[in-house]
């Protein structure tokens, strides 16, 4: 039985854009040491025990095949102050890493020091997600940065939130 959808792909994208998300940069490295990085807002927790997270990557992404061959990945949850970094890793570029400050974790995956939180993960599974590939990883190393305003994405643009007077003030 074929079901007719009552929306176009563009309408679906616009409706999904009504869900505000945080912004991450997923990093890894190939077996020969090439650093990988891509801006991603399709990140979720999966399980607390064992600690598992997921992200999805478009089948059109230039780095998809390289990510699929990696044993590890890191998730860098971005602060509002990291918009430029997010923009840099949102597009394919030969010099993405030039002049970018980063540390390396126990997996040698790049970690951005001003991120709100960073997770290093063993790649556990890849799943078919239609026009995306879903990566599931088991987190085994975590760092939490200084609390500050998160980088948010809503309706196709970065957005800001401000703390309520009753909330803890951000530094």
The residues that bridge with 135 in the sheet, in sequence order, are 55, 126
| Count of CB atoms situated within 10 Å of the CB of 65 | 10
The CA distance from 97 to 36, in Å, is 9
pLDDT of residue 94: 78
| Mean pLDDT in order along the chain per 10 residues (171 residues) | 87 91 97 95 96 97 96 98 96 89 96 97 97 97 95 93 58 47
For residue 149, what pLDDT is reported? Answer: 93
pLDDT of residue 162: 65
Instruction: State the pLDDT at residue 159.
Output: 92
Residue-range domain boundaries for the chain: 10-158
Say what the pLDDT of residue 171 is.
Answer: 47
Q: Is it true that domain 10-158 has CATH number 3.90.1170.10? A: no
């Amino acid at each position: 039985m074929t079901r007719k959808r009552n929306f176009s792909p563009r309408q679906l994208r616009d409706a999904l854009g009504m869900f505000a998300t945080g912004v991450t940069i997923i990093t890894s490295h190939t077996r020969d040491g090439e650093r990988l990085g891509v801006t991603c807002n399709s990140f979720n927790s999966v399980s607390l025990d064992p600690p598992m997270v997921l992200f999805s990557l478009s089948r059109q992404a230039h780095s998809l095949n390289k990510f699929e061959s990696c044993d590890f990945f890191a998730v860098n949850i971005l602060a509002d102050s990291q918009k430029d970094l997010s923009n840099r890793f949102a597009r394919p570029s030969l010099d993405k890493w030039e002049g970018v400050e980063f540390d390396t974790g126990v997996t040698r995956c790049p970690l951005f020091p001003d991120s709100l939180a960073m997770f290093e993960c063993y790649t556990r599974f890849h799943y078919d997600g239609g026009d995306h590939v879903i990566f599931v990883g088991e987190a085994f190393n975590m760092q939490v940065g200084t609390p500050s305003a998160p980088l948010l994405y809503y309706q196709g643009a970065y957005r800001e939130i401000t703390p309520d007077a009753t909330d803890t003030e951000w530094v």
